Amino acid sequence: MQTHDIRQRFLSHFERAGHTVVPSASLLLDDPNLLFVNAGMVPFKPYFLGEASAPYPRATSIQKCVRTGDIDEVGKTSRHNTFFQMAGNFSFGDYFKETAIKEAWSLLTTSQADGGFGFDPDRLWATVYHDDDETETLWREIAGLPEERIQRRGMADNYWSMTVPGPCGPCSEIYYDRGPEHGREGGPIVDEDRFLEIWNLVFMQNIRGEGPAKEGYPILGELPAKNIDTGLGIERVAYLLQGVDNVYETDLVRPVIAKAEELSGRRYGADETADVRFRVIADHARSGVMLIADGVTPGNEARGYVLRRLLRRIVRSARLLGVKEPVLGEFTSVVRDVMSPAYPELTTDYERIESVMRTEENAFLATLTSGSKIFDLAATATRDSGAVVLPGDKAFQLHDTYGFPIDLTLEMAAEQGLSVDEEGFRSLMAEQRARAKSAAASRRTGHGDKSVYRDLLDQGATEFVGYERLESESVVRGLVAEGARVRSAGEGDIVEVVLDRTPLYAESGGQESDAGSILGDSVRAEVLDVQKVSRKLWVHQVRVLEGELAEGSAVLAKVDPEWRIGARQGHSGTHVVHAALREVLGPSALQSGSYNKPGYLRLDFAWPGGLSAETRSEIEEVSNLAVRRDLGVSVLHTSMAGARELGALALFGETYDETVRVVEIGGAWSRELCGGTHVEHSSQIGPITLLGESSIGSGVRRIEAYVGIEAFRYLATERALVQNIAAMLKVPDQEVPARVESLVERLRLAEKELERVRAAALLSSAGGLADSAADVDGLAVVAAALPAGVSGGDLRTLALDVRGRLGERPGVVALFSADEAAGKVSFLVTLNTAARERGLAAGKLVPSFAPAIAARGGGKPDMAQGGGTNPAGVSEAIAALHRELAAVPASR
């Protein structure tokens, strides 16, 4: 049975059972606890938590999910995936345990000819929470499961939560016995490879608090209603029904392995070590493509770091299979071909996805080149010291700085006859993970309690009238202060106000919320912020300036008209710049994030490198030509499918309703899904002035601009600046660049000449320094402080000159250059051959004086150099060096 058929059978079964079929949400949702959607219930959390009333009593979905906690197990077991499809059926206070078990058993055991999966009932097992007698009884009555095929387990295994504060409850898991050839007898509690979990039925009834991820956390109370959340792993069911050995050999994953076989010339199934690499490639290729499709770009933090790690593991695995040429583009096309029937956006957005993949691979291949040089130096130093083990800190540096996986470092070390201090490496990795975990914990907020808005949500959504007008007569539905409902608020209070209707835009889609006021009889309040709760309720944060604001009172809600003019210009300007980017750079230059406020816009977009000045000017010109053409701005409402047919662009990470709002500027020239406020004609945007363009991560650029009056003001400031410079230089404005260029060249030549004179003067002091050498027990010692600002190169040249003038005497030269203003000191120590024959080494002398100048540094026996942070300690450092040398025996 093909995977797409499995998906359809699941949805059809529950649709017949009265469930509403809900499309998969994006992998990226606005949840402070999650990098990615990791379970099918995540999009429904507001309904489970009672923050909003569910629009349907029961639902079913096939949700795309990503989990990376077991990333190191991928390819080694039969069941671990980073990307997977979670089929689920959900009840929001409608049915509970009995119906959930009946429906699951029916779908699993009904014959394939009758629309089911056709599993043998005698090979199915169930687990229940250790004290859940009710569920065990239901399994016996409904499914006829014997006592020995129902096993009880503790909280870690059979009490479900998302490992963070939020919904939780006991669960019952369904397992399939793959047979004795796959492991030991005894059920899931003995062997979870032989007994494979395929479905988890969660009886969601409680809320958990902060605490350990799996068990031992507090149960804070009950949810407003008893709910059902189930999750069936599509990939696991596929590999059982397709008769293959693991999830990597199913119809949607095995084609990637076939492509890897083609590229490497190696055969899957011939060697277990190679097979793990094949499976890593197949799994991570799917995950990478799906993450990029939903708007993630490779980076060094959070979601971007996870994606980068996945893609680099693919490249590394391919190299270990012997593939040296780029591979990510090849795997991307395979994933598109097999997954697009369920996810058509993989075809429509293929060019952008492939571009991100190729850009990241090229970047990694470049780091492999530079990192390999660092590895070679570390390997050479290890051998020169007589060791055969590469230090753990070097392996960690290669991983942390250059993105080298430890496996790659191990392979390269083995090629040079070395091993690696893996224990030291893993210790440093553990320290880094602990720091990251601590930082994440400090940022994690848990699931905020929004149940205070439940009654307000039940009264219906706030009516937003801000597209048509700037003020509205409204009624105060409710007031919230410090997380609790209040009846009124007085002068000076800051409270949250919920109105039945409002003209004030709530922050979303990159647009700041409106500024404005709420007025009533003897009351005046300033609007500080407007946010949405559960995407339906507009919550105004206000400061009461005078009078008393009371629940149930009639008020006038007003938008600051000047603010709204600028806000419309900023948001429409963002659409125009986005369209100009795509016109100049091509369709793959897609927006991955934006922010706009009155007079200003910022737009992030996927692009492999910086833009030239000419390209920036072209984007600016295309944008302003669109303004001059006075393009019409229109809005239409359609379904998401209709919007896709029109080619409307969506903002990654945003969640859209079934009916979406499409904003067009110049028709198809700019067509985007957008809920923001906009001008009526492009000429109302006013001038658009690009401020600059920069990198915010690998493959992601950021462009900023002023629009409208802010653009005028910026240009006026720039014009005044040029005029002032022209006046100082006494040239016309248009000659300023040439004159400045001439002055810069003259300054460069003067600095070069000054440097030559200064170096000559410094080197001329070599003779005097050599003549001042002190005799320390037969050693000629020159230890001196030089003026501030001596470069490392000059320090080295002067020291070698002084050393050469000492003749055949055993000589030690130590020069220090202290810079009090900068709080730095540089030093260099060098020894001649005669001094080294007495057993001295420059590097071993450094510890004698380093504490005095708070220094770090080292080097070879003939020369050591470094720097410190205590310029005031130079005199003590020189004295300490003299004491060290005086203690050295005449012949060592």
What phi and psi, each to the nearest 5 degrees, are found at residue 355? -60, -45
Give residue 322's region: left, alpha or beta (phi > 0; psi -120 to 50): left
Between the alpha carbon of residue 795 and those of residues 800, 840, 860, the distances in Å are 9, 21, 17
How do beta strands 591-597 and 688-697 pair?
Answer: unpaired
Sign of CA dihedral 479, 485, 488, 491: negative
Annotated binding site: 571, 575, 674, 678
Describe the crossing of helices 302-320 and 272-293 by its angle, rounded to 10 degrees. Answer: 150
CATH of domain 564-707: 3.30.980.10
- In this structure, whether the domain defined by 3-249 belongs to CATH 3.40.50.10900 is answered with no
Sign of CA dihedral 735, 736, 737, 738: positive
Query: What's the CA gap between 777 and 772, in Å, rounded?
Result: 16
| Predicted local confidence at residue 890, as pLDDT | 59
**Contact status, residue 554 vs residue 583, Cβ threshold 8 Å:** no
Sign of CA dihedral 474, 477, 481, 487: positive
Six token digits for residue 551: 């629940």
**Contact status, residue 169 vs residue 201, Cβ threshold 8 Å:** no
| Strands, E assignment, 698-778 | 700-707, 774-776
- Cα atoms in the Cβ-side hemisphere of radius 13 Å centred on 101: 24
Residue with tokens 């949607």: 252
Can you give the length of the chain in residues?
892
Residue with tokens 């009090």: 820
Q: What is the pLDDT of residues 413-458, one digit of tens each?
A: 887 889 999 999 988 888 876 765 554 444 333 344 566 787 888 7
Instruction: Identify the segments of the chain with pLDDT beneath 70.
Output: 32, 70, 78-79, 300, 402-403, 405, 433, 435-451, 651-657, 697-699, 759, 857-858, 890-892
| Predicted local confidence at residue 143, as pLDDT | 96
Question: Can you list the pairs that 424-433 forms with residues at least 24 positions away whose Cβ atoms lie under 8 Å?
Answer: 424/391, 424/392, 424/393, 424/395, 424/396, 425/392, 425/395, 425/396, 425/399, 426/392, 427/392, 428/392, 428/393, 428/396, 429/396, 429/399, 432/400
Query: What's the CA gap between 377 and 390, in Å, rounded?
Result: 11
Question: Can you list the pairs that 273-279 forms with residues at least 24 positions away whose Cβ atoms lie under 8 Å?
Answer: 274/321, 275/75, 276/75, 276/76, 277/75, 277/317, 277/318, 277/320, 277/321, 278/75, 278/248, 278/317, 278/321, 279/74, 279/75, 279/246, 279/248
Describe the crossing of helices 874-886 and 842-849 by its angle, rounded to 10 degrees. Answer: 120
What phi and psi, each to the nearest 5 degrees, are found at residue 634? -130, 155
Q: Where are the alpha helices (DSSP H) in 229-293?
A: 234-241, 254-264, 272-293
CATH of domain 451-559: 2.40.30.130
Nearest to 447 by CA among 867, 48, 4, 8: 48
* CA-angle at 286, arms to 280 and 291, nearest 5°: 120
Going by the DSSP 8-state scheme, the letter that residue 454 receives in this structure is H
Query: What's the CA gap between 781 and 772, in Å, rounded?
Result: 9
**In degrees to the nearest 10, what's the CA dihedral of 631, 636, 639, 640?**
30
Neighbours of 145 (CB within 10 A): 20
What phi and psi, each to the nearest 5 degrees, are found at residue 71? -60, -35
Query: What's the CA gap between 808 and 457, in Å, rounded?
Result: 92
Residue 729, H or E segment: helix 709-729
**Contact status, residue 871 vs residue 817, Cβ threshold 8 Å:** no
| Predicted local confidence at residue 751, as pLDDT | 84
Query: What's the CA gap between 516 and 561, in Å, rounded?
Result: 8
Partner residues linked to 91 by β-bridges:
58, 228
Per-position DSSP letters for 514-551, written without gaps between them: PPEEEEETTEEEEEEEEEEETTTEEEEEEEEEES-EET
Q: Which residues are within 8 A (CB) of 724 and not within 5 positions of it... i.e. 6 or more apart?
A: none
* CA-angle at 154, arms to 148 and 155, nearest 5°: 145
pTM over 0.85: no
- Give buried/exposed letters for 456-482 (b at 16+ CB in 10 A, else e): bbeeebbebbbeeebbbebebbbbbee
Per-position DSSP letters for 791-823, written without gaps between them: -HHHHHHHHHHHHHHTTTS-EEEEEEEEETTTT
CATH of domain 765-886: 3.10.310.40
The type of residue at 352 is R
Annotated binding site for Zn(2+): 571, 575, 674, 678
Six token digits for residue 35: 């990098």
Neighbours of 747 (CB within 10 A): 10
The type of residue at 121 is P
The type of residue at 291 is L
Edge-to-edge strands, sheet with 688-697: 591-597, 600-606, 700-707, 688-697
Nearest to 506 by CA among 443, 576, 557: 557
Q: For the chain, which residues make up each domain, given as ranges?
A: 3-249, 254-443, 451-559, 564-707, 765-886
Q: Which residues are within 8 A (CB) of 105 and not within 5 positions of it... i.e. 6 or more apart?
A: 142, 143
Nearest to 670 by CA among 605, 602, 580: 580
Partner residues linked to 602 by β-bridges:
595, 704
Residue with tokens 């058929």: 5
Six token digits for residue 622: 């295309």
| Predicted local confidence at residue 440, as pLDDT | 44
Sign of CA dihedral 467, 470, 474, 478: positive
Query: How far is residue 688 CA from its own chain's centroid?
Result: 30
Going by the DSSP 8-state scheme, the letter that residue 23 receives in this structure is P
Query: What's the CA gap between 518 and 546, in Å, rounded?
Result: 11
Burial class of residue 8 in the structure, from the number of CB atoms within 10 Å of its CB (0-12 exposed, 13-18 middle, 19+ buried): middle
Nearest to 367 by CA among 413, 403, 396, 395: 403
Nearest to 43 by CA among 534, 453, 649, 650: 534
Residue 471, H or E segment: strand 471-481
